[in-house]
Amino acid sequence: MEIKTATEKLAALGNESRLAIFRLLVEAGPAGLSAGALGRTLDLAGATASFHFAHLSRVGLIESRRDGRSIIYSACYPAMDELLAFLTHNCCQGSNCLPLTSACDSIEKRRPPPLPDGDPQMNDRIYNVLFLCTGNSARSILAEALLNHLGKERFRAYSAGSRPTGTVNPYARELLERQHLPTAQLRSKSWDEFAKPDAPRLDFIFTVCDNAAGEVCPVWPGQPMTAHWGVEDPAAVGGDDEARREAVMKASIQLKRRIELFLALPIDKLDAMALQDKLDGIGREKS
């Protein structure tokens, strides 16, 4: 194991909640525990727990699988063994004094592909980004259209909902059309579409509503980086047409600001931990 890899794993376990999650999963054995059970045991909110699960998954310390409507997490013992071996290298005069386990499959089969490391050939890649909310009618639709416009050739944006309404909010569509952005391809759809084997391989997933952030998401192929960029729901605003249009405009301005900050990130030069910190920071940005 390289020292950088070991540092990332140790840094992930340096958080009290993540260490508690990992210890519970080690105790649970290969059968693992559901996301809900872990959250209840440690008194973690859904969005907070999801963030910690994603972090531990990204550094290869835990694995996930779907069981019906639940996501089951389990410790990856080979990764733990590898880390222990690194920490105890040359102890006991080089003898194998620590019993190492082999309860789960090789971590290399599940570890997410590394982010670009500055190789010029990698700088031309297109990043796939999925915006999620509950209804997929306004906020996530706006974000999809804005990123596809602002990201030009570097990003391809999609949107989906945990419980899609099936229609695009008319005020959101009206605003995008006034801004001369394409709307023909926009539709309200389920996030299940993006968990299928033939779905685009996602690099980033951003939740733009608290409800979606707190729900149990599908198992996304490739374990993309995730962050929560909560925005008030313009579709929930009452009043006359002008009030509704104003609410949609406010959401659009906030999303545009966050997308611009995202586009300014040197993604190919940041390691995974630094990039995650930047993405989370964008979600806390007030605009």
Residues marked as catalytic: 133, 209, 217
Task: Tell me how far apart the alpha carbons of residues 84 and 74 are, in angstroms, rounded to a whole number.
Answer: 18
- The pair phi, psi for residue 94, each rounded to 5°, is 85, 0
Bridge partners for 33 per DSSP: 73
183 touches 177 (CB < 8 A): yes
Token pair, residue 268, equals 């190919």
Residue spans of alpha helices (H) in the chain = 3-13, 16-28, 35-42, 46-58, 77-87, 139-150, 170-178, 210-214, 241-263, 272-283
DSSP three-state, residue 278: helix
159 touches 130 (CB < 8 A): yes
Cβ contacts of residue 284 below 8 Å, gap of 6+?
A: none
- Please give the C-alpha separations between residue 239 and each of 88, 142, 234, 242, 256, in angstroms, as whole numbers: 65, 21, 11, 8, 25
Continuous segment of H or E residues that includes residue 73: strand 70-75
- How many Cα neighbours within 13 Å face the side chain of 30? 6
Sequence letter at residue 84: L
For β-strands 127-133 and 33-34, DSSP reports them as unpaired
Continuous segment of H or E residues that includes residue 265: none
